[in-house]
Structure 1
Amino acid sequence: MIIHIYAKVSLGKINHFIRFYIGGVSALEKIRFDNSGLIPAIAQDFATGEILMFAWMNAESLALTIEKQQAVYYSRSRKKLWFKGEESGHTQLIKEIRTDCDNDVILLKVEQVGGIACHTGRKSCFFQKLDNNKWHAVAKILKDPKDIYG
């Protein structure tokens, strides 16, 4: 039997939420968070392989993502958890979670609900392409952000 125990560990100004297992090993033990307690996370469309967005996660958001099988990020500007799609309805359902060879980057393979990952109303946040030393938008807006966020 596996029992989940959550512990809030304070290291200086950084609070780490660590999931311990009795009778197993925590998936978070392997992850190498930076000095701020964060790890970069890339969301990729599971079906097409297209990169949708980049965000940050902390231990708590990664644990919640694993538990809920929905993307939860950490907003550095707001200093709080960001449940993707909380306002827009454009949630990300987790299909796979991977880490790189150094265990310091997370890759979320997701099903993007509503087909829009970017707050600009586009499928991907990576819609700008450098061409002749100028940035150009190469993806259309699928829905006006005013209609998404009000």
Structure 2
Amino acid sequence: MMTIISLLLLASLLPHLTFTARVNKGIVNGTEAKPHSRPYMVSVQKNWLHICGGFLISDEFVLTVAHCRDICQILTVVVGAHDLRKSKTLKRIGVKKYIPHPDYNTRPLRNDIMLLRLQKKVKLNNNVRRISLPKKCKDVKVLSVVLLAGENFGLTAH
């Protein structure tokens, strides 16, 4: 149950975690993270352009937002990048299956969560890892310090 809650929490943050390599945006009062310190972050792309962020939750599944994919749109996932504009460590992988929440709705926007099953398993290494999820049910305390990552994979705020 806690895993599902954690995934839903992550998915609710995804619209705020996206970035683009073409526009100079950033997290307000954010600082650049150490390269590859967020190895679970992925770029979900259409035609080689970033459209959404996501998290690697296993060696073959990515969690992202359902609104990231229009019908008949083919997406790819980029793993292993710190900065999409100049990364030499990135790996592009096709999406085998799109699994949106069964009750996903665009108007009003609800259940905006989707799993992407990759065409092949990702080789995990120092630059590519799955996100760690809580093993036990725990409530997050009010005013807890959290990390937010996004914008070219490199900015964090806490």
Q: Mark the structure with the bigger radius of gyration.
A: 1
TM normalised by structure 2 equals 0.28
Between Structure 1 and Structure 2, which shows a larger proportion of strand residues? 1
TM normalised by structure 1 equals 0.29
